[in-house]
Every structure is written in structure tokens, then in C-alpha cells.
């Protein structure tokens, strides 16, 4: 079962608000919702309540609608971003102008952790593929907390290692697998909820998103999805993909 998360209104102080809001300026109820959302992020689970509150004192909340740019490669790296709700696509533009997708990140995952540590410019583009609620963590305040918390430091190192492994896997897919194999591996690696008929991919990916992440054209990706749908490998449910026969996706056939 998927983990329940606070509604966007609880995190942002009310419906329809956009932009940035300081955590310290929110009503107590909304601050409690943000504290609970941050405490649910795997990176911050070792922290005590007082340490969570210390992080919130160095944060700002942002809303980004689907399709909006969150980060641009080359921008100054001033802090880390925690995805409280929604999903984002990490990519870069190749020398020939093609967009190459690296990963899809969902609620509870972090962005910009490399720039957080070294203060260098952003290393990739990030765009919202769902409406996102983001928590911006300032670099200076977070570095001070890392110095005091060995558990948090180890968690962050583990996250960096996980990202490196994910990048290596993406590179392996692009060089060793054909397009069906890349699409299959991509779908199997996305968050899923088990259902009576199959596993439902929780993130709604457009054909453009799938093509960017799998390294193929929209037409070829759509053709493969239609073939799998016809063969009963996958189904579609209100914009979501339902995986019916995962063993077929493992081989990409």
C-alpha cells in the first residue's frame, strides 16, 4: 500500500498558493504538516524532532506545476531540494541537441545533493512531470547540521552511492539494451502499487517523458507500448501504466 502523505493545502497553507513561503512564517498546523512530511523522507529518518525543526528553519517551500522547470544545468548550486509531493524528470541536452533522460524522482527523494556538498553549479536539468511540492534546503544551514550528525552524513553518502549506481545502470541500458529492453527496465524501476490485476505505476509519464528516459523516439516508444498492450503485457488506466506480466518486461520482448 502506498504511504499516505499530507495534502498540498496542508503543506502550503491553503489551496491555490504558488511561489515560495518561508517555513517559519506558516501557521502551526501547516508547520506540523511540513515537519511530518520531512520526517517521512528516508534521508532524514535518523534525525530527532529538534533536528528536523532545525532543518525547517533553513527551508523555503515552492510549488511547481507539471511541465515547469525546477533546475537548469549550469545554474548556481545554492542548496538541496526535497520532493514532498509529485515527480520530476532529471535530464541533460546532448551535443546533438537530443534530451537524454537520467531518472524519474518521486515523493521523498532529493535533488541537488551534489551541489549541496561542493557548492558547484547544477549538473543536470530537472523538470516537473507532475505538480510538485518542493522544500528548498539552504546549503549553509544544512552543512552545519551534517557536521553534527554522523547518521545524517552516512545517509547522504548512501544516497550519493545510490545515485551513482542508478547512473551506471542507465548508461548500461543505453549501451547494451535495445529500445524494448530499455523501456522494460525503466517501467520496472518506477514506483508501483500492487493491485488485483497487476502492479500500477504510480507516476503518470507522458510519451515524451518515456521517450526521453528510454532514449528513443515517441513513435517507436508508443509502438512498443501498443504491442505490449495488445499482448497483455501491460494495460493503461487513466494515464497510468499497469504491469501485468513483469517477466516479459525483464527481457524487453
Domain finish residue from 158, 174, 190: 174
Does some domain include residue 79? yes
Clarify whether residues 73 and 165 are in a common domain.
Answer: yes
Backbone angles phi, psi at 213, to 5 degrees: -75, -30
Clarify whether residues 68 and 192 are in a common domain.
Answer: no
Backbone angles phi, psi at 211, to 5 degrees: -65, -40
| Residue 200 near residue 2, CB atoms below 8 Å | no
Clarify whether residues 213 and 95 are in a common domain.
Answer: no
What Rg, from alpha-carbon coordinates, does the chain have?
19
pLDDT of res. 134: 92
Clarify whether residues 46 and 131 are in a common domain.
Answer: yes
pLDDT of res. 50: 82
pLDDT of res. 234: 93
A 10 A CB-CB count for 48 gives: 10
pLDDT of res. 253: 62
pLDDT of res. 121: 85
pLDDT of res. 203: 86
Q: From CA 94, how far away is CA 108, in angstroms rounded?
A: 29
Backbone CA torsion sign across 185, 187, 192, 197: negative
pLDDT of res. 12: 54
A 10 A CB-CB count for 78 gives: 15
pLDDT of res. 29: 52
Does some domain include residue 106? yes
Q: From CA 66, how far away is CA 169, in angstroms rounded?
A: 27
- Domain extent for 144: 8-174
Domain finish residue from 146, 174, 202: 174
- Give 10-residue mean pLDDT values along the chain (253 residues): 46 49 46 80 78 84 93 85 90 80 85 80 90 88 81 81 78 78 89 83 86 88 94 89 91 65
Q: From CA 187, how far away is CA 234, in angstroms rounded?
A: 10
pLDDT of res. 2: 41
pLDDT of res. 10: 52
Helix (H, G, I), strand (E, B) or coil at 232: coil
Residue 123 in grid coordinates: 549538473
Domain count along the chain: 2
Domain finish residue from 124, 144, 174: 174
Where does 69-208 show beta strands of DSSP type E? 69-71, 79-85, 87-93, 99-106, 110-111, 125-128, 132-138, 192-194, 199-201
Q: From CA 193, how far away is CA 103, in angstroms rounded?
A: 19
Instruction: Give the rounded distance of the alpha carbon of 68 from its chain centre.
Output: 14
Does some domain include residue 1? no
Amino acid at each position: 500500500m502506498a504511504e499516505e502523505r499530507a495534502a498540498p493545502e496542508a503543506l502550503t497553507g491553503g489551496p491555490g498558493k504558488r511561489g515560495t513561503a518561508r517555513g517559519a512564517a506558516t501557521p502551526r498546523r501547516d508547520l506540523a504538516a511540513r515537519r511530518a512530511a520531512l520526517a517521512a523522507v528516508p534521508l532524514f529518518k535518523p534525525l530527532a524532532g529538534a533536528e528536523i525543526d532545525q532543518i525547517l528553519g533553513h527551508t523555503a517551500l515552492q510549488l511547481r506545476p507539471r511541465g515547469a522547470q525546477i533546475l537548469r544545468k549550469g545554474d548556481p548550486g545554492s542548496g538541496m531540494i526535497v520532493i514532498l509531493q509529485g515527480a520530476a524528470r532529471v535530464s541533460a541536452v546532448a551535443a546533438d541537441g537530443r534530451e537524454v533522460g537520467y531518472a524519474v524522482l518521486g515523493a521523498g527523494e532529493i535533488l541537488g545533493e551534489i551541489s549541496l556538498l561542493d557548492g558547484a553549479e547544477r549538473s543536470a536539468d530537472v523538470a516537473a512531470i507532475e505538480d510538485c511540492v518542493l522544500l528548498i534546503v539552504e546549503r549553509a544551514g544544512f552543512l552545519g547540521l551534517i557536521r553534527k550528525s554522523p547518521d545524517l552524513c552516512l545517509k547522504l553518502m548512501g544516497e550519493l552511492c545510490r545515485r551513482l549506481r542508478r547512473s551506471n545502470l542507465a548508461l548500461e541500458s543505453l549501451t547494451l539494451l535495445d529500445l524494448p529492453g530499455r523501456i522494460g527496465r525503466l517501467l520496472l524501476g518506477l514506483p508501483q502499487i500492487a493491485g488485483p490485476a497487476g502492479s500500477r505505476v504510480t507516476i503518470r509519464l507522458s510519451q515524451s517523458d518515456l521517450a526521453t528516459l528510454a532514449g528513443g523516439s515517441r513513435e517507436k516508444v508508443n509502438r512498443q507500448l501498443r504491442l505490449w498492450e495488445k499482448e497483455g503485457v501491460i494495460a493503461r488506466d487513466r494515464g497510468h501504466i499497469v504491469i501485468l506480466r513483469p517477466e516479459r518486461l525483464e527481457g524487453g520482448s
